[in-house]
Amino acid sequence: MRTFPIIPIIAFLSVISLNADSSSNSEDLGFAVFRDRCMACHLQSGMGIKEMNAPSIAGLPRWYVTDQLRKFRRNQRGNHIEDAAGSLMQTNALALDEKSIAFVGRHIESLTPNEGRNILSKKSTKDSKVLYRKRCQECHGEHGEGNRSDRVPPLTSQQDWYLLKQIDNFQTGKRLHYENDSLNELSEEQLQSIIAWICSLPSSPPE
Ligand code: HEC
Ligand code: HEC
């Protein structure tokens, strides 16, 4: 008599677990793409592997990830002959279809952003913030949060070595920053101090 109620309980539990399985399957196409095609270089956490030149991408907004994947696909990024890191990433972007791009973008956005981005241990100076305000804030925002409507990325998820590498890519024509790029007017030391300051900001802007 005592074992009698167990059967409906088991049936009930298996229905619950089936439901959980099927809903996570349909939600997790983004994870599946990420696991199969991205994790080898960007890690499960999305923190990247510096030795592979693969940056931290965890928490980057979906619109920016999809923009960049499309740029890689359209030869607008990663196709310069001397851009080995970009071309490594381009090969991966070329393997994706539009649906995978949309889903993987959502997965990356959902990952917890990187708070330890000062890898090179450069120091910001008292001028860093002033320089940022004058030269970068208009587009990248007061707290480095970016600006979706102008397609400007946040700068508070990526590590310092990667941001400096992109600045070098902009300056050497491997990647387009924006029309009339004014980065060249800043010295290397000034740029390093701006990036050191950016990498000390929290990954989410204060409320
Ligand atoms: C073989 C290694 C490798 C794999 C696999 C890989 N990436 Fe990358 N990824 C890189 C490298 C290297 C860069 C840096 C490119 C550069 O310096 O311009 C990068 C850059 C990026 C960027 C640009 C970040 C930014 O701030 O602009 C995005 C977005 C990105 N990867 C997403 C992905 C996604 C999504 C996948 C899976 C579909 C993936 N990557 C798979 C190596 C890889
Ligand atoms: C006129 C607007 C504008 C200004 C001013 C500007 N940026 Fe940008 N920045 C952009 C845009 C747009 C992109 C994205 C380019 C793309 O889509 O590939 C970008 C991208 C970047 C990236 C690459 C981020 C990544 O994840 O790959 C870095 C690094 C960067 N900017 C640094 C700076 C710094 C430092 C300054 C100030 C010295 C600055 N920018 C000033 C518009 C601007």
Reply yes or no on whether the pLDDT at 10 is more than 50: no
pLDDT digits (tens, 9 = 90+) for 23-71: 445 559 999 999 999 999 999 999 999 999 999 999 999 999 999 999 9
pLDDT digits (tens, 9 = 90+) for 69-105: 999 999 999 999 999 999 999 999 999 999 999 999 9
CA-angle at 137, arms to 136 and 142, nearest 5° = 145
Q: Rounded to two decimals, what is the model's pTM?
A: 0.90
Of the candidates 196, 180, 176, the residue with the CA atom closest to the CA atom of residue 188: 196
pLDDT value of position 205 = 85
pLDDT digits (tens, 9 = 90+) for 170-193: 999 999 999 989 898 999 999 999
The one-letter amino acid at 12? F
CA-angle at 33, arms to 29 and 36, nearest 5° = 135
Question: At which residue do the structure tokens 């959502």 appear?
Answer: 106
Extents of the domains making up the chain: 8-114, 116-207
End-to-end CA distance of the chain: 59
Q: How far apart are CA 206 and CA 115, in angstroms?
A: 14
Decide if 8-114 and 116-207 have a common fold: yes
Interval 2-16 mean pLDDT? 45
- Residue 163's pLDDT band (cuts 50, 70, 90): very high
Of the candidates 83, 86, 53, the residue with the CA atom closest to the CA atom of residue 69: 86
Q: Does domain 116-207 fall into CATH 1.10.760.10?
A: yes
Interval 95-123 mean pLDDT? 95
Distance 153 CA to ligand 2 centre (A): 7
Q: Does domain 8-114 fall into CATH 1.10.760.10?
A: yes
Point out which residues pair with 54 in neighbouring strands: 49
Percent of the chain with pLDDT over 90: 81
Distance 100 CA to ligand 2 centre (A): 26
Neighbours of 186 (CB within 10 A): 17
Half-sphere exposure of 168 (CA within 13 A, CB side): 13
pLDDT value of position 27 = 55
Residue 165 Cβ contacting ligand 1 at under 6 Å: yes
Interval 120-149 mean pLDDT? 95
Pocket perturbation via mutation, ligand 1, pick of 62, 87, 92 by most ligand atoms within 8 A of CB: 92
Q: Are 117 and 109 in contact (CB under 8 A)?
A: no
Pocket perturbation via mutation, ligand 2, pick of 120, 140, 199 by most ligand atoms within 8 A of CB: 140
Length of the chain: 207
Interval 110-120 mean pLDDT? 94
Atom of ligand 1 nearest to the CA of 108: 35
